[in-house]
Structure 1
C-alpha cells in the first residue's frame, strides 16, 4: 500500500489538475466546447475501432537483400564509328543558269572542294555536268567543311534515254557513274479555243509545242491547219508526260485528241496491239483508221496563195487554168510527201523549176514544184513514205515569190487536191476491235470531261 502521506499528495495533485481543466473549459466558447466534445467522441470511437483493426506490420527489422548489377563500360571506338556514320551532311539544290561555269555552279551548291572540281573537269563522264542545259537540276551533298560527298544530275542528250549521273566520294578519291533514269509517267488533259492560230491557242492552254505538232500530224488528212482553222474552233487533247524529282523532263505520245473545226468534230485515239513492235496508229472512236492515203497539205503551216481555178498568169499575163494549189511559205520550209510512193522524177522542168514527181498506186501521182533544193538522197526510183521530207520551199522556175506549187493527178489528169476524195486505211476488226473499244471508252470519258458546257453544237465528221 502507498504511504498515507504520499497518497495524500497524489490526491491533492489530481484535484488541482481537474480544477485547472474545469476552469479552462469554462472560459472556452460554446463552439469550441462542441468541437472538443466531438473530438472526444471521435477519439473514443477511434479507440474503440482500433480494438478490432489488425496491427500494421513493423518492417524496421525486416531483412534487406541487396541487388548488384555490373554494367559494361561503353566501347569508345564503337561510339566514334556511330557518330561518323551519322555525320551531319548538307544538301543543296540548284538549277543550271545561262552562262554558268563549273565554279559558279559549285559555289551556289555550297561546294568548296578543289579535289572534286579537278575530278569533274578531268573525268569523261563527270564533266557532263559542265554541259547541262540551263534549267537542269543539280543536287549536291556536302559535309560541314564544304567538301563534296555526292552530286547528282540528269543527263539529257535529246533522246528518250535519260540517265542519272552520280559523282560520289570513294575514300580519298571520287568516282562517277550513270544509270538509266526512272521516270514517272503522267497522263494530262488540256483544252483550248482558237482565236488566231493553233500555236497561240496551245500556248494559252499550256500545251507543249511537241504535243501541238502531234495534233497537226493526227488530223493532217482532215484539216489543213494553214487554211481551214476558224476563230472559235476548239480542241481537247490527252497526252503523256514524264517526270523526275518534280520536273517534267519530256512529253510523250498524244493518246487522244478532238478537234472542232468549222462545225465538224474530228476525233482520234492512239491504239497499238500488245506486243506489236512496229508501232500502232490513230483511229476514230469507231475503229476506222485516220491515216488516209494522202495528206491534205504537204506543208505543216502556210497559206494558200492561189487555188485550183482559172487565173491570170503572173508572168505570162494570160488567163490559164491553174492545175494545182500554191502554198505560200518562207524559203526553206520542209515539203512532205503526201503519200507513200516511188519517186518518178527529180530535176528541173520549165516553169516548175526544181520539181519532184511521186507515183503512187491506181494511177495516182503528185508533183511538187518551185523547190529551192531537194532533200538529201532523193533520187528517181527510191521509195518514200507519207510525211517524208522530199525538198524545201523556194521560187525556182516561173515564180514571183517563194511558194510550193502542188499538183494532184489521177491518170495524169490534174484534180483539186483540196476536194478530191481519198480512201482511209483498213479499219479494225474482230479481236482487235474488242481490245480497241476498251481503250476508246476511257478516252471518250476523258473527252466528255474536257468539253465546255454550252459550247456550240457540232456534228461528228464522216470519214
Structure 2
C-alpha cells in the first residue's frame, strides 16, 4: 500500500521574521500545496486511511525580499514625456513650465544657440514635446518647423552630459491618399470644391490640375452643366497632424454630360518617367507642345520665302518665333539630347531625339540650358536654352524644326500626335495601378460607399 505523505513546510520571511510549520494531510490539501509551490504534474492520490503509513517531508520555503525590490526600483532614474501646444502670449519660460521643465541651463541654451532659438519662432498651435527627469531637468525637446519657403524640418534639442546640442534635420512627412467626390450644382467648378461642401474643401491646386488633365476633352468655360460630377484621388503630405502640402493627382474621373473621362497617373518604376493615361493605357499627353515658347509670335512659317540674308528664294524648313533675347525655350517633347553646340548658320543649336523616328531642333540660341549635354534626358516643357540671334540671323528669334526620319516637316500637320505608347512590361505594371484606381472610383460613385479615405 502506498504511503500518504505529510508535507511540513517551514516558510521564512525577512519581513515577518516568523516561521511556521504546516501539516497538510489529505488529497484536497495536497492539491493546494502542489499549486502553491509550482508543481507541474500530479498523480492519483489515495483517500486518507488510518491503515496507510504516513511519512513527513519538511522543507524551508523563502519568500522574496520585497523591501529590497522596492528600494531597487526607487533607485532607477524616472523619465517623463510631456506634450503641449504653443498658446497666445507664451514666453519660453511659461511654455517650458507647462512641459514640466525646470531647468535654467536649458532656457539659457535655447536663448543663446542659433539653431535652438528657432523654437522661439513657433506660432500658436504648434506642438512641442519634452522629455525630463523626475527633477524637471530637460533631457530632450522636439518641435516640427514648417516654413512655406523651405522644406519642413524637425528641431531636436538634447542633453549631452552637462551641456546641450541642437540639431535641425529634414522632417519625414506622412503621405496620405485623399479621395473626394463632387457634383456640379452651378456653372462654376470651383464653387463645388469649397469648404462648405460636405467632405471638406479640395485644394485649388488640385482643381487646377483637374482642369489641365481634361481640358482637351472638356471646355470648362462652356461645357459644364448641373449634374456633372467628378471624382479625384490625390496625395497629401502631413507633419505632426498638420497638412504641409498637396501632392500629385493620382487619378481623376469627370462625368460631363453623361460622358465619363478618366485619367490615371503612372510612373514606371523602371524608367522613372510618368504621365497620365486613360484606363486602357493610352497617354493623355500630346507628344509635342504646340510651341516651344510660352509667349511669342510666328514671324516666318514653314514655306518657301526669300532668305533674309542671301536674298534668294528657298524653302524655309521650320517655324520662326519672334521673341526677346533670353526668353526660355522649352523641349517640345520627352527625349534625349542628340547634339548640342554651334552648327554653322544655325548658331547655337540643340537637337532632341524623341520616340520612334521623331526629332526636333532649336536654333539661334543665346545660351544653352544648365547641365545640358549630349545624351541628357529631357522632359516635355523643360527649359533647354534661351532665345538669341547667333548664326545667320537678323534678330532675336527661335528657329524650330520638326523632323521625321531627319526630314523637316510642318509640325502643324502633325499636331495631334500622341505620346509614346507603353511597352508590354510597362502596360502590365500600369494595369495593376489602373485597377486600384478604378476600384476607388467605384467607391466614390453614388451608392458606392463614397467617402474621404486616408
**Which residue number corresponds to residue 139 of structure 1?**
128
Kindly indicate whether the alpha-carbon contact (under 8 Å) linking 1:367 and 1:408 is maintained by their aligned counterparts in 2: yes
**1:298-345: CA deviation from partner (whole Å, max 9, x where unpaired):** 65x824622856699997899986832638689453523523133224
Q: What's 2:421 paired with?
A: 425
Structure 2: distance between partners of 1:334 and 1:189: 37
Q: Residue in 1 aligned with 2:264?
A: 269
Give the secondary structure class of the aligned counterpart of 1:344: strand
Contact 2:362 2:399 in 1 (8 A): yes
In structure 1, what is the equivalent of residue 26 of structure 2? none
Does structure 1 retain, via aligned residues, the 8 Å contact 2:318–2:408?
Answer: no
Residue 321 of structure 2: aligned partner:
326
- Structure 1 equivalent of residue 377 of structure 2: 384
Q: Which runs of 5+ in 2 are unaligned?
A: 1-69, 196-200, 225-229, 447-454
Per the alignment, residue 438 of structure 2 pairs with: 441
Higher strand share: 2
The residue number in structure 1 matching 2:362 is 368
Q: What is the aligned residue count?
A: 347
User: Are 1:347 and 2:342 an aligned pair?
Assistant: yes
Decide which structure has greater helix share.
1
Q: Which residue of 1 aligns with 2:178?
A: 187
Q: Deviations over 1:135-166 (max 9, x none)?
A: 994526699x9997763222569999965433
Q: Could you say which structure has the larger radius of gyration? A: 1
Instruction: Describe how 1:19-168 pairs up with structure 2 within 5 A.
Output: 91-93=84-86, 106=92, 109=95, 115-120=105-110, 126=116, 129=119, 137=126, 139=128, 151-154=141-144, 164-168=154-158
Which 10-residue stretch deviates more, 119-128 or 249-258? 119-128
Q: Deviations over 1:196-216 (max 9, x none)?
A: xx99x9999853659957986
Alpha-carbon separation, structure 1, partners of 2:183 and 2:403: 37
Name which of 298, 303, 311 aligns with 1:306: 298
Q: Within 2, Cα distance between the matches of 1:165 and 1:265?
A: 48
C-alpha contact 2:277 2:284 (8 A) present in aligned 1: no
User: 1:365: Cα distance to partner?
Assistant: 2.0
Aligned equivalents of 1:414, 1:384: Cα separation in 2: 23
What's the offset of the Cα at 1:425?
1.6
Equivalent residue for 1:288? 281
When the two structures are superposed, what TM-score results if normalisation uses the length of structure 2?
A: 0.52
**TM-score using structure 1 length:** 0.51
SS at match of 1:296: coil
Q: How much has 1:255 moved relative to structure 2?
A: 0.6
Superposed CA offset, 1:58-105 (max 9, x none): xxxxxxxxxxxxxxxxxxx99xx8xx979997934169xxxxxxxx97
Q: Cα–Cα, structure 1 residues 259 and 250, in superposed 2: closer, same or farther, change >3 Å?
A: same
> Which ranges in structure 1 are unaligned for 5 or more consecutive residues?
1-76, 96-103, 450-463
Matched residue, 1:357: 351
